Amino acid sequence: MRLTKKHRSLETINQISFGSELKNDAIAEYTMANSRLKNIKGDSYYGKVAKNYEDKRRQQAWWWVEQEQMEELLSMLPRGLKVLDVPFGTGRFVNYYHDHGYTVFGLDASDDIMMAAQTSLGDQYDRCTTVRGYSTKLPFDDKAFDLVVSTRFLRDIICYADTKKTIREFARVCKSYAILQLGFRVDGPYEFPADDERMGSRMSRRQVLALLKRSGFEEVESRKVKVLDGGNAEIHHFLLRQTST
């Protein structure tokens, strides 16, 4: 296989981080994820987009609602957890994690965005373990984390087939809790996305919870972070408990 620039940089990183068997898996996953990325935003967080990611998002009112709601949900959980944040992005919740005495792991497909995280977080970044990889094949053991967090991802960055696969991966590596950002439609008609589309906010709340339940997650509570479509759709942070212990 002829390796592109991105493949080559992925290869180098995985040589350092995981050794050759996992490296080959990661390249295969990269290729598969990319072939499903038509009309999906996942593979665009490089260069300037990565560098300016947080400055732009900080101008959105709902960024701050997400921050506030995340802080409140985290304060309901025990201290000292081991957390995995996917995709890590600019590490927007890292200061909350450290305030709660967490050990922090982050995974993201883009090393450019993790460099942006390093710039904005400084010393706090050095206390995190960051890994480049894909949400659909997490390089971690079963039940390796007490908490898995995922925002601005499952509903609009990857395609629905990968969203379902990712939720199963989250449930596999999660021992106790997850906080996942997902959307739903308030009134019908409801619709299941095709596997190669984004999930969006078309399913009902009950359908979203049923999807989570099939992977072993049940709702503890949820917090609204954004209203869409004139009030007919909502994005929530769902605090979930892992039930398949």
**Residues of the shown chain interacting with ligand SAM in the complex, contacts defined by CB under 6 A:** 33, 42, 45, 86-87, 89, 92, 108-110, 113, 134-135, 151-153, 157-158
Q: Min. distance of Cβ 29 from ligand SAM in angstroms?
A: 8
Question: Which of residues 153 and 160 has its CB atom nearest to ligand SAM in the complex?
Answer: 153
Q: Min. distance of Cβ 16 from ligand SAM in angstroms?
A: 18
Q: Min. distance of Cβ 168 from ligand SAM in angstroms?
A: 14
Question: Which of residues 165 and 185 has its CB atom nearest to ligand SAM in the complex?
Answer: 165
Distance in angstroms (rounded) separating the CA atoms of residues 191 and 208: 11
Question: Which of residues 92 and 185 has its CB atom nearest to ligand SAM in the complex?
Answer: 92
Is residue 155 within 8 Å of 226, Cβ to Cβ?
no
- DSSP for 5-35 reads HHHHHHHHHHHHHT-HHHHHHHHHHHHHHHH
Q: Min. distance of Cβ 22 from ligand SAM in angstroms?
A: 15
Question: Which of residues 110 and 242 has its CB atom nearest to ligand SAM in the complex?
Answer: 110
Amino acid identity of 220? V
Distance in angstroms (rounded) separating the CA atoms of residues 143 and 41: 29
- Residue 63, CB half-sphere, CA atoms under 13 Å: how many? 12
Write down the residue that tokens 């019908």 correspond to: 188
Residue nearest to ligand SAM (CB): 89
